[in-house]
Amino acid sequence: MSSESAYLDRLYRDYSRRVQATLIRLLGDFELAEEAMQDAFVAAVQQWPVNGEPDNPQAWLIRTGYHCGVDQIRQRSTARRRAHLLLPIEEVLELDEATIEDDSLRLLFTCCHPSLSIEARIAMTLREMCGLTTEQVASALLMKPSTLAQRIVRAKRKIRDAHIPYAVPTHEELPERLPDVLKVIYLVFNEGYSRSTGSSVVDISLTQEAMRLGNELARLLPQGEVFGLMALMLLNDARRDARQDSGGELVTLDVQDRSLWHQEDIHNGIVWLQQALALTPTGYYTLQASIAAEHAQAIRAEQTDWGRIVRLYDALCRRFPSPILTLNRAVAIAMNGAPETGLALLDDIAHHPQISRYHLFHAAKADLLRRQGQREAARSAYQQALLLTNLDPEKRFLHRRLAELEAST
Amino acid sequence: MKYVALVYYQEQIINAMSEQQWQDLNQECIAGVERLSASGHYLAGQPLQPTETATTVRVRDGETLISDGPFAETKEQLAGFYLLEAHDLNEALQLASRIPPARLGSIEVRPTRELPPKAAPQKESGE
């Protein structure tokens, strides 16, 4: 029994995602496709040990699943309404590798559709694309399984009732639609990255899942921005062991122990970045990755090429204006030897609704004031930042900074 | 004069109905449409899927912004409607983004639903 379940586990790991993606297209229904896929795996576990593994296990599973799904539809009272949705079996038999790969992309674009709430997109992507169970996704997102299940049911209902297409956008649509998918992958990554490591009871790593998705997407859709996102994730993830000290306290970039950075990830990140830069136009993630690469390549914090980072932020702010990027650019300008200019730029955006209640704005301002020796102003900015965050590690960090300020008097 | 009659209700009330009550309401609507048609007052009408299926489209600075759910700005008032034929939600959203007021306010895109078939007339008892 245990060897049978180990066998099933292996089959599942190897084939379930792609079989599921194709069955959704063939059967036109998420729930039905999932049931049909389960049936196909049960059949495989019964038949393969006896008859041997078929030449093309994936195609076998899809065909078997399709038959199970069609049987299901025929048994249901809604059969007549749905019958026209079904593809003739000849078309199913003609599955080639490219069609199956396209199905993965179709599924990803459907899960990341902008008409679903961002929470639903993340849940759907993890559930359907990463092949995680509802319980695994729920614990990875720190949610109750019932809440998550409800969210997924709603999303699937909307996909069905509002006719969200199961399709890869056309070449013309792609520039508009690809950012939706990249955004979801990057949010999954950040969700994992912002978590403190070590305390997690689940062995699902959202950063790993995000990079796996990015890798798969890069293979299926080799676009510059996909490479750029891969580079950005790898270059950030390379710092994972240096971001916290042994006591779990936050360590900012300038004082991180750079010997803890994973050089192999940095190397790989830079390879992705070079591939991204070879393709124009240079997009949002590629520019962000270029900044991350500057930090990653500085052996010591003082060797950071802030001049180049300022120029990269200039380009980002021109093409994708946002108050958060303006904040980052102002800090880079200050670090590049013009603290007064940086502080003046911060004052310019201080009243922006997205900024005035953003704790990192006040923390960044406090940091620049502290470096300038303006202790009183720095203190009040740190206090303002403290009022605006509920995150414990951030609070402890700000308290430490305040204490250091007092000690230096 | 032509008038549009917009139908509002709390979806909660509908969701709490029994299957029978829901069927009865639909049949009542079918009968109502027949009555209005016979008297020459009915031009067009269409029930909608629940708000869960809604998507809102806005265009700002030439960029199309798409979000889940019905529009929520209480400052905005209903100004008109379009009944569109599109093969899926993507096409519907694309068409909606070209409606000029999408630049000023928001366009809620919601799939329609069909009323069920008219119930066969029941024999009166005692006939």
Nearest CA in chain A to B112: A162
Question: What does the pLDDT average to over B55-80?
Answer: 87
ipTM value for the complex = 0.83
What mean pLDDT is reported for chain A?
Answer: 89
Q: What are the pLDDT digits (tens) for A71-98? A: 888 887 555 555 556 666 666 666 778 8
Chain A residue nearest residue B111, CA to CA = A162
Band of residue A378 on the pLDDT scale cut at 50, 70, 90 = very high
Query: Do residues A85 and A42 touch, judged by C-beta distance below 8 A?
Result: no
For A285, residues 6+ apart whose C-beta sits below 8 A from its C-beta are A182, A186, A225, A228, A229, A231, A232, A276
Q: What is the pLDDT of residue A198?
A: 44
Write down the pLDDT at residue A168: 87
- Chain B residues in contact with A122 (beta carbon < 8 A): none
Question: Considering only A76-90, A118-132, A292-306, which range has the smallest mean pLDDT?
Answer: A76-90
pLDDT for the residue numbered A99:
82
Distance from B52 to chain A by nearest Cα, in Å? Answer: 7
Specify the range with the lowest mean pLDDT, choosing from A153-162, A246-255, A293-302. A246-255
Chain segment A219-261, per-residue pLDDT in tens: 999 999 999 999 999 999 999 989 888 887 888 899 999 999 9
Is A112 a residue whose pLDDT tops 80? yes
> Predicted confidence band at A156 (pLDDT cuts at 50, 70, 90)?
very high
Q: Which of A25, A80, A163, A170 to mutate to test the interface with B (most CBs of B within 10 A)?
A: A163
Per-residue pLDDT reduced to its tens digit, A344-367: 999 999 999 889 999 999 999 999
CB atoms within 10 A of CB A247: 6
Q: Over the stretch B6-61, which tens digit does the pLDDT of each residue have?
A: 899 999 999 999 999 999 999 999 999 999 999 999 999 999 999 999 999 999 98
Contacts of A154 in chain B (CB under 8 A): 52
